[in-house]
Amino acid sequence: MTLADDSLMRAVCLLSGTGTNLQVILENIATGNIPISLNAVISDNPMAKGIEKADTSGITTKVIDYKLYDEQSIYHDQLKQSVLIENPDLIILAGYMRILSDDFCETFRGKIINIHPSLLPAYKGLNTHQRALEAKETHHGTSVHFVIPELDGGPIVIQYRIKIHSSDTADTLKKRVQEGEYQIYSKALKWFALDQLKMKNDKVMFHGDHLDKPILIEEN
């Protein structure tokens, strides 16, 4: 199966890990639910399982091993050049664990979408499930947002919210949050592919109107 198609919006995916979000995205591309052409999957981590998933689907893959670069700026330049070659309309971050350079964010402004495992703006950064538990939050979740140079700070499109139960651990939260990720990321990517979703002046535009607050989906 190849997921490259010249008649569709061109996309590149960046990841570092397991790639369960990528797997769901691939399934949605295959059924036509997300009408994009996924032209390349790039990882900073040679051990990323997500790269194997992309290979199995016949997608071009590339590893730019972060650890082999003494100078971060050269890594970031390699990454930018590898993405530019694909001339993408959309860059999907699916568990990409490096901070993108400001230059990368500016070069592809409005085209980079990320999913982050918290109800942003709460819990930017790492270990979000544990931090939400330790803070005795009543709710937790995940957010899809456009990427700007400020880490996890871009305008939010859609969120999935769960209640935290007294029996929850970081692992159970991760599992429940990821179930929501598969739903909301597919929705957001579909809207972007259909030109219904954009970022303009650092604001989310949905069906041509400014979205004042993120769309909210609650766990059943």
CA distance 190 to 113: 12
Q: Count the alpha carbons within 13 Å of 95 in the hemisphere toward its beta carbon.
A: 21
Q: Is 168 or 181 the residue whose CB approaches ligand GRF more closely?
A: 181
**Residue 71 Cβ vs ligand GRF, minimum distance, rounded to whole Å:** 26
Which residue number is nearest to ligand GRF in terms of Cβ? 95
> Is the separation of the CB atoms in 171 and 130 below 8 Å?
no
Task: Decide: 152 and 159 in contact? Cβ < 8 Å.
Answer: no
Q: Which lies closer to ligand GRF via its Cβ, residue 94 or residue 188?
A: 94
Least spacing, CB of residue 174 vs ligand GRF, in Å: 7
Find tokens 């929850």 and name the residue: 168
116 part of the active site: yes
Q: How far is the CB of 6 from ligand GRF (least distance, A)?
A: 27
Is residue 22 within 8 Å of 50, Cβ to Cβ?
Answer: yes
Give long-range contacts, CB 8 A cutoff, 24+ apart: 52-58. 52/19, 53/19, 53/22, 53/23, 53/26, 54/13, 54/19, 54/22, 54/26, 57/1, 57/3, 57/26, 58/1, 58/2, 58/3
| Choice between 111 and 116, CB closer to ligand GRF | 116
Given the residues 76, 116, 140, 145, select the one marked as catalytic: 116
> By C-beta, is 36 or 177 nearer to ligand GRF?
177
Place of tokens 């041509």: 208
What's the min distance (Å) between Cβ of 122 and ligand GRF? 14
Q: Which residues in this chain contact ligand GRF in the complex, by CB under 6 A?
A: 17-21, 50, 94-95, 115-117, 142, 178, 181
Active site residues: 116
